Structure 1
Amino acid sequence: MLDTQRLLTFEAVVRIGSFAGAARELGYTQPGVSQQMRALERDLKTTLFSRDGRGLKLSEQGEVLASRVAEILAELRATEERIAAVTRLKEARVRICAFPSANATLVPSAISRLRSRQLGIELELFEAEPPESLQGLHSGEFDIVVAFRYDDQPASQSEPDFNTIPLLTEPMVLMMSDDHPLARRKQVELAELRDERWVAGCVRCRQEFVTACGDAGFEPRIDITTDDNLAVQSYVVSGLGLAVMPQMTQSFVKHPKLRSRPLLPERHRHVTATVLRSQRHTPAIIRVIESLREAASALATAPRI
């Protein structure tokens, strides 16, 4: 069995390129690093390094270990995190990570419902967009991830470790200022908008928008990009461009001069809650998911503003 500390030291030596540099980074002495590398070579019964006139060089065996060491250490860290998550969930402590607009709408409502039942579940909240949030779930950093995908994007259910629960499906809407010529229309065809300027949102939202425009036969002129939903609305009502955004972004804040209209052909964002399959039957997880589904149902049936 390989020693984890020796692997960490090996990774630092390879990344930095010298025993001395690794020693400085790790807070060891150079002889201490050399001693650890000799011990690792004994464990593996092979030579990992050779020296030439230009400094440290990996042997063929060392190259093999160097190609795998980052993955090995990442898996070890993920295993530690998942073990810690089991303990955390048994103590009814749940870490939820959600994307920004869900953290402003869906998650607060779910937490309020959960606390009203006085179940003794403690929550820690985090914010990230997928796929980063789903990577955190895989590594054990989070217990529940509220994520989203668009019509053409694969579901996270394809990841064998994941169990994904649908929460709601929301339409994409066209946003414009109230003085835009199309503001009187009940709905708008995307193909009609090829000559417009655009304000785009987060990376995945922007990718979805560009794909939709491509399907409609044009490449959009995106003048402004921002992850801030309120900023998107402000740019739109200032006449600097139109935007296509999920309907949820209007449920927690809407500029008074903003108008939104259904977009044709319809496109949707699918909001989900994802957990590890191994934890899907944990009582605390079940209760939080129940509250998220109730909050999603209430949000889906709420009057549009």
Structure 2
Amino acid sequence: MFDLHRLRLLRELKHRGTLAAVAQALSYAPSSVSQQLSQLEAEVGVPLLEPVGRRVRLTEQAEILVAHTEALLQRLERAEADIAASLTDLNGTLRIASFQTAALTLVPTALGLLRELHPHLRVHVTHMEPEKALPALQARDFDLIIAEEYPGNPNARPAELQQEDLLDDTLHLALPKPADSTETDGPMAALRPLADHPWVMEPEGTAARHWAMSLCRSAAFEPDVRFETTDLLLHVRLVEQHHAAAFLPDLVWSGRPPTVPLRHLPRGQRARRVFTVVRRGRTRHPAIQACRDALRRAAALHSHIST
């Protein structure tokens, strides 16, 4: 029978990419990880790793083992969930990753609900953008993440992950100064005059940036992106002081009135989807269910305030 601990190290290598990253994540020496994987190769009787430059990659047989390891770990997580469900009180630690605006608006309210209902549950929250949080969830660094999906930019949906919607977050064009156009002129009438104006957007490689660039190009211009940051509060400040135009979601206002002129976007581009993601083996865990319920209530409260 193969050693489960060594199988988990092989799985970690698939998700983290290098022996050094596996060692750092698990607080092991790299030599120890390498030794354990060598012993696993001896158990299996076939090569599991092959060198590619200074790195290694998994062989076909290693990929087969990782697929079975994923199934085993998912079943163990279900066992953990069943044990937790048999207890009368929730305890332990729940690890959450969230992007900024959800962390500012939804998470504090959800934490208050969880503290009231489950005072012995320790919740650890990390600010992390979905592009990094999703792989970290698969690597078991987190138990639940809050993610976003922009119009026309669907996320990958790995079979081992399960999503649940929270809300549709309305997106607007934020004007650096009052525009000559009005809402009745149509969305593009406000967008096109900003072709030569500086913009603030999220960094290259993010879903938000890809969506924003596509939207500007649909209006027949290439935006002059002078400011790049994932901090949407900085986006707001730059628009307030007339340094840049931006696309801003409703969540950034946290239920307060907007401080800059806003315009509607074209149909089909007016909202991003906000949702939670967990590994399938954790869906029935009481702590996950309690957290998702608290986040749903927080999202409903935000939607009520916004309307």
Question: What TM-score, normalized to structure 2?
Answer: 0.70
Percent identity over the alignment?
A: 25
Whether 1:270 aligns to 2:260 is: no
Q: Deviations over 1:142-166 (max 9, x none)?
A: 111110001212255x321122111
| Match of residue 53 from structure 1 | none
Q: 1:262 to 1:40 in 2, by over 3 A?
A: closer
The residue type paired with residue 173 of structure 2 is L
Q: What is the aligned-residue RMSD (CA, Å)?
A: 4.1
The residue type paired with residue 201 of structure 1 is E
Number of residues of Structure 1 aligned to a counterpart in Structure 2: 271
Q: 1:228 to 1:45 in 2, by over 3 A?
A: closer
| Match of residue 261 from structure 2 | 259
User: Please, which moves more after superposition, 109-118 or 73-82?
Assistant: 73-82
Q: Please give the alpha-carbon distance, in whole angstroms, between the structure 2 residues aligned to 1:268 and 1:151.
A: 7
Q: 1:180 to 1:79 in 2, by over 3 A?
A: farther
| Match of residue 224 from structure 1 | 227
| Match of residue 176 from structure 1 | 175
Match of 1:300 among 292, 299, 303: 303
The residue type paired with residue 170 of structure 2 is P
Whether 1:68 aligns to 2:68 is: no
Q: Please give the alpha-carbon distance, in whole angstroms, between the structure 1 residues aligned to 2:163 and 2:296.
A: 12
Q: How does 1:59-208 map to 2 (within 5 A)?
A: 63=50, 66-68=56-58, 87=80, 90=84, 92-93=91-92, 94-118=94-118, 120-155=120-155, 158-177=157-176, 179-182=177-180, 188-189=187-188, 190-202=191-203, 203-208=206-211
Q: Please give the alpha-carbon distance, in whole angstroms, between the structure 1 residues aligned to 2:226 and 2:112.
A: 39
Shift of 1:96: 1.4
User: Please, which moves more after superposition, 212-221 or 137-146?
Assistant: 212-221
Q: Please give the alpha-carbon distance, in whole angstroms, between the structure 2 residues aligned to 1:201 and 1:254.
A: 23
The residue type paired with residue 196 of structure 2 is D
Q: 1:260 to 1:142 in 2, by over 3 A?
A: same
When Rg is computed on C-alpha atoms for both structures, the one with the higher figure is 1
Point out where structure 1 has 5 or more consecutive residues left out of the alignment.
17-24, 49-60
Contact 1:146-1:274 within 8 A present in 2 as well? yes
The residue type paired with residue 200 of structure 1 is M
The residue type paired with residue 284 of structure 2 is H
Q: Deviations over 1:103-154 (max 9, x none)?
A: 1111111111222234643312122111321112222221111100012122
Q: Deviations over 1:198-230 (max 9, x none)?
A: 111243211110111223333222121122222
The residue type paired with residue 169 of structure 1 is D
Q: 1:261 to 1:144 in 2, by over 3 A?
A: same
Q: Please give the alpha-carbon distance, in whole angstroms, between the structure 1 residues aligned to 2:40 and 2:120.
A: 47
Contact 1:78-1:138 within 8 A present in 2 as well? no
Point out where structure 2 has 5 or more consecutive residues left out of the alignment.
21-28, 85-89
